[in-house]
């Protein structure tokens, strides 16, 4: 039940194409949002800096229209220089009003109503005593902090934003009026304050923000569609590979998926697919041949046993006849038992169920014991079994399996060496390796067959047949045991002159020694 639930849950999950589209859209949305924030902030700072710079320039223009007449500040007609200046601006007379004719233009408009506009410019001029000498009527609606007057009198400009009626925000700039006394000296004679509404700036920023809010969804929608389309194009080769791989069954393992010409991940995936199919094909071929050979090997002794028993039941008349048949049946049964044991051992090897012991083993003593135990068998076949060189050498491994390796190689040499021949063993060692060599003067192996002799049930020529008692599995087991000990088996042979099997294993060095 849980397995079905897991499968249904996996089936309900969106595909990789859809997931990539979602991730790409999320990343695009994040990057686009960061870009919009940075862009809006940059525009805001740029407009604010430009606005402040404009106020500074207007203050400079007004300062150029202020003169000192009889010790009093006199503001000239600056309305014509600044068209945006509030036309209701008026002079506030200080002591000594001899300059009434100079400021007549302001008095003529002082009774006009003052209206607030987004482009209105407010101006106020102070003398050094803090008395207002020039003032825009709307200035009374904004309360500026004391720093706006004190800082310029100390030689420092002031900039700030003040909120007025109906939440109107005005940006003000205060600077000092300087009268040069000489080339190296000057004095502060007053303060000029200039203000302008931020309505246009805020409106511009609102337009920018509104444009970004309209453009962002459109860009994200287009990004989602484009990413979905690109993901489909990117996965189309993989989809084609999947369809081709799905069409390859157990009987079509000779086929391969097409490898793209472009050097990308899809090409690497196709190569991996082909390598996997090649290994599967090899495994299927080996398995088929193994089953066929095993069936043949098992069928032969069974057929021999049945033939002998049928003959004995039909023609045997004496106890000697029955005894001879039973001996032959026992011999075939013993051969059949060895074959079954070898097949079982290789099956366990393929399943990874065989575990080896790990203990120090003297290979020279092991070889000596094997030679002593197999010398009678060699003498029975008319062969000479001897040791040419035994150098003390120790490895870490499974003694029983290593005995199986040596006996397998010696038995192979005795089997394929004609009577009167010679089989010699030697053990030598180098700094890190141990070499066990088994040399015979037998029939030899053709060069084309050397690379196949460790395959299961492989026989190089008719001489390597069941007639000599072999099953074709001995060398396969030898190779497995050696490789399990991190070693290797090398073969050199000449047909008609003999063969040499050399087993190389890692040498064990006792740390205490």
Q: Map residue 388 onto helix, strand or coil.
A: strand
Q: Is 83 exposed, middle or buried (0-12, 13-18, 19+ CB in 10 A)?
A: exposed
**Nearest to 485, CA basis, from 410, 412, 394:** 394
pLDDT at 92: 46
pLDDT band at 229 (very low <50, low <70, confident <90, very high): confident
Query: SS3 string of 312-360?
Result: HHHHCCCHHHHHHHHHHHHHHHHHHHHHHHHHHHHHHHHHCCCCCCCEE
Largest CA distance in the chain: 167
CA 508 to chain centre: 40
In whole angstroms, give the CA distance from residue 408 to residue 417: 14
In whole angstroms, give the CA distance from residue 417 to residue 181: 128
Range picked from 70-74, 233-237, 509-513 for highest mean pLDDT: 233-237
User: Around Cβ 446, how many Cβ atoms within 10 Å?
Assistant: 11
What pTM does this model have?
0.49
pLDDT in tens, 274-327: 888 788 777 777 777 667 666 766 776 777 778 778 777 777 667 777 787 788
Query: DSSP assignment, residue 98?
Result: T
User: Around Cβ 53, how many Cβ atoms within 10 Å?
Assistant: 11
pLDDT at 14: 66
Taking a C-beta distance cutoff of 8 angstroms, is the pair 424, 439 a contact?
yes
% of residues, the chain, pLDDT over 70: 78
For the chain, state the CA radius of gyration: 53
pLDDT at 90: 46
Query: DSSP assignment, residue 138?
Result: G
Q: Assess whether pLDDT exceeds 90 at residue 470.
A: no
Domains of the chain as residue ranges with CATH: 2-41+205-246 (no CATH), 65-197 (3.30.450), 280-350 (1.10.287.130), 356-506 (3.30.565.10)
Where b means 16+ CB within 10 Å and e means fewer, 225-262 reads eebbeebeeebebeeebeeebeebeeeebeebbeebee
pLDDT band at 182 (very low <50, low <70, confident <90, very high): confident
pLDDT at 102: 38
pLDDT in tens, 200-216: 888 889 999 999 889 88
- Mean pLDDT, residues 13-37 taken together: 85
pLDDT in tens, 390-431: 999 999 988 888 998 898 899 889 988 999 999 999 999 888
Taking a C-beta distance cutoff of 8 angstroms, is the pair 46, 204 a contact?
no
pLDDT in tens, 58-100: 888 888 878 777 667 777 655 545 555 544 444 444 443 444 4
């Amino acid at each position: 039940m849980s397995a079905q639930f897991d499968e249904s849950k996996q089936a309900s999950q969106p595909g990789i194409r859809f997931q990539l589209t979602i991730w790409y859209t999320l990343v695009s949305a994040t990057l686009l949002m960061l870009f919009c924030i940075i862009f809006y902030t940059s525009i805001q700072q740029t407009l604010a800096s430009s606005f402040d710079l404009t106020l500074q320039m207007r203050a400079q223009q007004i300062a150029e229209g202020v003169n000192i007449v009889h010790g009093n500040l006199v503001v000239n007609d600056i309305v014509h220089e600044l068209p945006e200046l509030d036309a209701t601006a008026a002079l506030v007379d200080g002591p000594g009003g001899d300059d009434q004719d100079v400021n007549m233009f302001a008095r003529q408009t002082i009774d006009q109503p003052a209206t607030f506009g987004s482009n209105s410019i407010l101006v106020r001029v102070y003398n050094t005593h803090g008395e207002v000498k020039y003032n825009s009527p709307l200035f009374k609606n904004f309360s500026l902090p004391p720093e706006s007057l004190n800082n310029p009198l100390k030689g420092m400009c002031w900039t700030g934003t003040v909120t007025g009626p109906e939440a109107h925000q005005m940006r003000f700039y205060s600077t000092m009026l300087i009268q040069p006394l000489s080339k190296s000296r000057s004095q502060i004679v007053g303060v000029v304050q200039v203000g302008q509404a931020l309505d246009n700036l805020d409106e511009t920023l609102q337009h920018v923000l509104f444009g970004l809010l309209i453009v962002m969804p459109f860009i994200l929608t287009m990004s989602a569609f484009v990413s979905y389309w690109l993901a489909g194009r990117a996965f189309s080769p993989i989809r084609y590979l999947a369809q081709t791989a799905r069409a390859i069954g157990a009987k079509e393992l000779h086929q391969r998926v097409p490898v793209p010409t472009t050097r990308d991940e899809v090409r690497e995936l196709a190569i991996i697919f082909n390598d996997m199919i090649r290994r599967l094909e090899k495994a299927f071929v080996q398995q088929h041949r193994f089953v066929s050979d095993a069936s043949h090997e098992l069928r032969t002794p069974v057929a021999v046993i049945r033939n002998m028993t049928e003959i004995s039941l039909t023609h045997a008349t004496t106890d000697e006849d029955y005894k001879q048949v039973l001996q032959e049946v026992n011999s075939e049964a013993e051969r059949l038992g060895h074959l079954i044991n070898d097949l079982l051992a290789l099956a366990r090897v393929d399943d990874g169920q065989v575990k080896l012991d790990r203990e120090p083993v003297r290979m020279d003593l092991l070889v000596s014991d094997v030679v002593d135990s197999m010398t009678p068998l060699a003498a029975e076949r008319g062969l000479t079994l001897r040791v040419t060189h035994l150098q003390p050498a120790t490895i870490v491994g499974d003694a029983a399996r290593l005995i199986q390796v040596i006996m397998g190689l010696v038995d192979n040499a005795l089997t394929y060496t004609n009577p009167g021949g010679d089989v010699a063993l030697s053990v030598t060692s180098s700094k890190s390796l141990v070499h066990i060599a088994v040399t015979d003067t037998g029939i030899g192996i053709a060069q084309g067959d050397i690379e196949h002799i460790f395959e299961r049930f492989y026989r190089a020529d008719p001489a390597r047949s069941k007639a000599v008692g072999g099953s074709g599995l001995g060398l396969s087991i030898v190779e497995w045991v050696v490789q399990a000990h991190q070693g290797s088996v090398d073969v050199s042979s000449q047909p008609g002159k003999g063969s040499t099997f050399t087993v190389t294993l890692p040498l064990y060095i006792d740390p205490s020694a």
